[in-house]
Structure 1
Amino acid sequence: MTSVNWAGNYTYRAESLVKPRSVEELQDVIAGAKQVKALGSRHSFNDVADSPGIQVSLENLPAELTIDEAAHTVTVNAGARYGEFVERLNDAGWAIHNLASLPHISVAGAISTGTHGSGDGNLNLAAVVAGLELITADGLTLSVKRGDPSFEGTVVAVGALGIVTRVTLDIEPTFDVRQDVFVNLGWPALRDHFNELTSSAYSVSMFTDWGEQGANQVWLKSRVDVGTAASQQQELFGATRATHAMHPLPDGPSANSTEQGGVPGPWWNRLAHFTLEFTPSDGQELQSEYLFGREHAIDAIEAMRALQPRLAPHLMVAEIRTMRADDLWLSPAYGRDTVGLHFTWKQDDAVQELLPLMEDALAPFDARPHWGKLFTTNAARLLELYPKLPEFRELAGRLDPNGKFRNPYLDRTIFGA
């Protein structure tokens, strides 16, 4: 079998790819496999979803959207992409608190890697999981819900515990969002007003190439039912309101971006950066991200600015975002309000050589890498960064004693030290 990820930078080595049409069929596949791994929307940039044996795609499992209005939850099939059900959820009068930049990613893939959106008060996508079902190594279904023992270790699990089939998410009444873009925010203003900037809207993203001009774009996503003065201003700490629709890349097609210009619209069509109808690029890119406590924000930003001459030839754009602390063992936001520095790279072999340089520069801030993106941080260092990693290893040992869901990625990152 020859299969590649979304970006085309990684070729999977699995012996076969199967697409079961029922949970029962999936159980049989898992029970009979020596090694097996779930493959989501392929939007990981490393070998997290690869397997020495079988890969399983959930795309043919029956679709589900079950709303429990009394519990304020929705249950969906784990292989669903967010963009495939959020409009239906909205039409029923409900919303998810936040979305990642892309609506094209699968629910299980997003939560298992700790993927997030932005907003000082917003948890990442995994932290609103109220329950899930997964098939463990013996082919049996395990159901876990918030409050159960080890629940916090089961949600962000990087595929090490089993294959998730259904996910139950917290929901809230639907809301509208307006998106306003400001351009040319200088570094002095970003440094002096960082907390005010990140709290100036429900979700805030700052885009930069780390050059002297500062943040080229600042995207404010404001809830209309709350309202923020910043979204209606003509200036934002010296940055001026954009006069036309923008794409995070200077020459990117704005038609791919969700609507801007302060026009109110449903949450699902504003909180992501890109629309489901358009992929944000042709996949010819690489990505990495590092996340650390927000008390280190300015020092970490300055550390990346100092590396700008090395980064610039290979960088397409970087994004600065924030999120609230959570209690999920392997979440990059575990135990601390968090700032993430996201890097979109040209598809260049030199990027791999830059990662250790960046990781060394961010080491004083205990930066945790995003599980689904490029990094070189090893298991010994991850053991220092994740205080609950020993408990997670013990949980994995109980649920998967023979390492059916192990792969070189997990051996290198989770179990290697």
Structure 2
Amino acid sequence: MTALQNFGANLSFTPRAFFVPETEADVLEILDAYRGRNIRVIGRLHSWSGAPAGEDVVLDLCRLNSVEATTMPEGVRARVGAGCQIKRVLEELERQANVTLPTLGLITEQAIAGAISTGTHGSGKHSLSHYMSEIRVATYDPATGEPVIRTITEGPDLAAARCSLGCLGVIVSVGFLCRLPYNVEEHFERCDALDEVLTLEVSYPLQQFFLVPWNWKFWVQCRRETVAPRSLLASLYRLYFFATLDISFHVLLTFLQQYLRSRRLTKFFYRRVLPWTVIRGWKVVDRSQEMLIMEHELFRHIEIEVFVTRSRLAESLGYVRGLLEWCDGDRSGLDETRQQQLRELGLSAELEAGCGAYLHHYPICVRRVQPDETWISMAAGGDEDWYALSFISYARPDERAGFFQFAELLARSMAGLFDARPHWGKWCPIEGETARRLYPELETFRTICDQADPDGRFRNAFVRQRIFGEAGQSRAENTGGLQPPVAGQ
């Protein structure tokens, strides 16, 4: 039996059967041999939720990694094997047809099917799921019960397949319209208020920004597409970014969090040291796949991310600051009105237990995502842009009790106060009834899943509890094998 563990080391499971199929025909043979069993698929396991976990039959599709770019009247279309990592997709699209992906997330380590299945996104555009125009799924024919490959290209089923958490079957390939390569101009600015940040967004629609804890200023990566050529100093800028922000910053944070464990030094770093490490106003132009990604996979961490609409962004960030101060032990962080609202949400015990239990030690990353044409991606529906607020911890896997306590309080309170949606692929502690309220089209998605997979063969504990609202499971089952946040963890 093969033991599997995710990138964050908070998810581990040992399936009864584990396969690495070479071809789509192999996938169908496995479905045939294990009909009646529960089947799940893993990508690169760069997820912190229980979405990929499977206790029965698990498939790793890393060998289904073909990339085929075809020139059509409407442009270049790509069909990509489900297990292909995004970094290879980028390389092959450029080599074969001098095109690129329609959007990019922060990392390129993920398998493309895993990325779309959980709603992976970048900043300033729709999520990657939104752009999928063809999804091919290995499943059982509801009429005959035989394994088949179903091609989904339109209608409500496509909206479901674009972000499905594996509920429709085994994705074997995805198809989408590519775009021409493009350059991105970037520079850093510091802002004292959110209004300044949003004003910059008009000129820099691809920007992402950071709310810096204990300093409470905003650092903005001002980004926009440009027809300007690659800067002469682009390589030097990438070296500076990699050495300073991707490496040195994270090494220092890891040292502060895992070894010194000093609240005073952490706050001193953000208030006095960090501002000197960021060069403001250095405008550099480089290729999109260089500018829009970071090397977050180099350091193990855990993360929760919540999505709010633009109209609720300002109040949400104000609440985040107050909650972080409260969790650091400052009871003035949340006024009596806000405390009463949390009590009315049934969070009295969590509120009291969280006071003084956690020091947040990483900048809150905020990214804008345009509404998706999907049923359950975090940016699904509505006519407002969504903003993803990301909270990262570099605590050791056995020292995350404070983070889990904070993350659960954050997710439950922001869902109640601001209708915030936690990212399906990150730490996701919401319950089924909460999901039903947050996603107006959840019933549509459930109906499509029931029609395609009436016996629920492609569901695990995580999706049964969160998507289909099934109760009666233990906490460990609810998280799909995640280590529960008990004392000492």
- TM-score of the pair, normalised by structure 1: 0.86
Identify the match of residue 80 of structure 1 among 84, 87, 100: 84
Counterpart-to-counterpart distance in 2, 1:109 and 1:69 = 27
Aligned to 2:275: none
1:62: how far off? 4.9
Counterpart in 2 of 1:281? 298
- Aligned position for 2:176: 169
Q: Displacement, 1:70?
A: 2.4
Cα deviation for residue 144 of structure 1 reads 0.8
Contact kept? 2:22, 2:64, Cα under 8 Å: yes
Question: Quick one: which of 357, 360, 381 aligns to 2:409?
Answer: 357
Q: 1:221 aligns with which of 206, 223, 234?
A: 223
1:179 and 2:186 equivalent?
A: yes
Instruction: Give 2:433's match in structure 1, choosing from 349, 374, 380.
Output: 380
Q: Deviations over 1:316-339 (max 9, x none)?
A: 332011111122001111123101
Task: Indicate the residue corresponding to 2:29 in structure 1.
Answer: 28
**1:249 offset after TM fit, Å?**
8.0
For 2:159 and 2:246, the matched residues in 1 are separated by 34
Deviations 1:223-281 (A, max 9, x none): 12289xxxxxxxxxxxxx99953426872379xxxxx953322222222223xxxx643
Q: CA deviation at 1:160?
A: 0.7
Q: Which residue of 2 aligns with 1:342?
A: 390
The letter for the 2-side match of 1:144 is I
Q: Is the 8 A contact 1:175 1:267 kept in 2?
A: yes
Aligned partner of residue 203 in structure 2, secondary structure: coil
Question: Displacement, 1:15?
Answer: 1.8
> How many pairs does the alignment contain?
387
Partner-residue secondary structure (3-state), 1:222: strand
Per the alignment, do residues 242 and 161 of structure 1 end up closer, same or farther by CA in structure 2, a change over 3 Å counting?
A: closer
Q: 1:305: which partner in 2?
A: 321
Equivalent-residue separation in structure 1 for 2:203 and 2:15 (angstroms)? 46
**Structure 1 position 107 matched with structure 2 position 112:** yes
Greater fraction strand:
1
CA shift for structure 1 position 409: 0.3
CA distance 1:248–1:210, shift in 2 (3 Å): farther
Change (3 A) 1:28 1:325: same
Output the aligned Cα RMSD: 2.6
Alignment of 1:195-234 (within 5 A): 195-215=198-218, 217-225=219-227
Partner residue, 2:151:
143
Alignment partner of 1:50 is 2:53: yes
Match of 2:285 among 249, 255, 264: 264
Shift of 1:179: 2.5
2:368 to 305, 318, 322: 322
* Percentage of matched positions with identical amino acids: 22
Q: Distance in 1 between matches of 2:239 and 2:318?
A: 29
- Matched position secondary structure for 2:445: helix
Shift of 1:299: 0.3
**Deviation at 1:149?**
4.3
Provide the rounded CA distance (Å) in 1 between the counterparts of 2:155 and 2:113: 19
Which residue in 2 is equivalent to 1:237? none
Cα 1:49/1:226, change in 2 over 3 Å: same
Contact 1:314 1:350 in 2 (8 A): no
**What is the rounded CA distance, in whole Å, between the counterparts of 2:55 and 2:205 in structure 1?**
43
Q: Unpaired runs of 5+ in structure 2?
A: 141-145, 230-236, 253-280, 329-357, 471-489
8 A contact 1:90–1:268 mirrored in 2 = no
